[in-house]
Structure 1
């Protein structure tokens, strides 16, 4: 089996890392405190060596950069190896990958789509182990009523909020009737 390779790349939220074998992504990491720490997270998981990405991986990187700059990018074209992930998590990731940029679902929504709202905690656990954040957009899954709950990626809930803001996601339910009006014309409470 060929050895995984990785590269770091700058984004609007900091340096991210992606690892691949051939033209298939095997891991990714959101920014840590330093680029070296970001790379170390992926190397520890995959044993990858630093390399220049092939065209398919470079296309994935450019798409991730665009997404993190606010473009509505669909990353479903990126080939990912989830071979070491259990069957339930694979189902969770498939549902999560179907959530468009700028939208969110609750853990309960994902669980219901998998057949039972009582799976919500298992959904959260599976997303907490997501080996390919951003491509598997676990940041788009939130608590009930849009509440931002734990996020295991570096930066925690702050990173999740930043990514959702970049994507233009509405949190906490639909906007109120007057939310889009300039402050000067909003009704006084």
Structure 2
């Protein structure tokens, strides 16, 4: 295949997109408010991508993303990522994030310290904000100081970190975001 392929697919959180090349997955786009907006963002980020039927390896990644969106445990250890154009430092951050177990979180400070770059907390946060591999690289498991759980990245669409962590069964005690109020994860309980 020359260039990149992409596909848009249904999940429990909306229509997501995935882009791939011969080298692996190039990006994952979480849903925007409308499918047209998801496609538009995907094509703005990957203008050379053409809509194609995903090969088996990409189908397996899609199935994992769909399972994750339903709250099912799904890790992506065998998924190959196309890291062309991604700095070595960001690759290290993404590898670290992939190793964070489901149901756990780390702070950007903890990631920086673990990577022996304790003075690079801001750089860690910036790398996570640029994460093109949403869900597969679970940057939603890395919180900024104070456990902030708002928008996650360029590819995060309208989904918040809090919502993704909630789907995984992780509960945070920080203040709810507006999206969490509008789209609650748990149905309201009747008063006693």
Counterpart for residue 154 of structure 1: 157
Query: How far 1:118 moved relative to its partner?
Result: 2.2
Structure 2 alignment gaps of length 5 or more: 175-188
Q: TM-score, normalised by structure 2?
A: 0.83
Moved over 4 A (4+): none
Is structure 2 residue 79 aligned with structure 1 residue 78? yes
Is the Cα contact below 8 Å between 2:12 and 2:66 reproduced in 1?
yes
Say how many residue pairs are matched. 172
SS in structure 2 at match of 1:9 = strand
Counterpart for residue 4 of structure 2: 4
Is the Cα contact below 8 Å between 2:150 and 2:161 reproduced in 1?
no
Structure 1 alignment gaps of length 5 or more: 174-182, 184-189
Counterpart for residue 40 of structure 2: 40
The CA distance in 2 between the partners of 1:102 and 1:81, in whole Å, is 26
Query: How far 1:23 moved relative to its partner?
Result: 6.8
Q: TM-score, normalised by structure 1?
A: 0.84
Counterpart for residue 91 of structure 2: 90
The CA distance in 2 between the partners of 1:165 and 1:149, in whole Å, is 12
Is the Cα contact below 8 Å between 1:142 and 1:149 reproduced in 2?
no
Is the Cα contact below 8 Å between 2:125 and 2:144 reproduced in 1?
no
Counterpart for residue 166 of structure 2: 165
Task: Report the aligned-residue RMSD.
Answer: 1.9
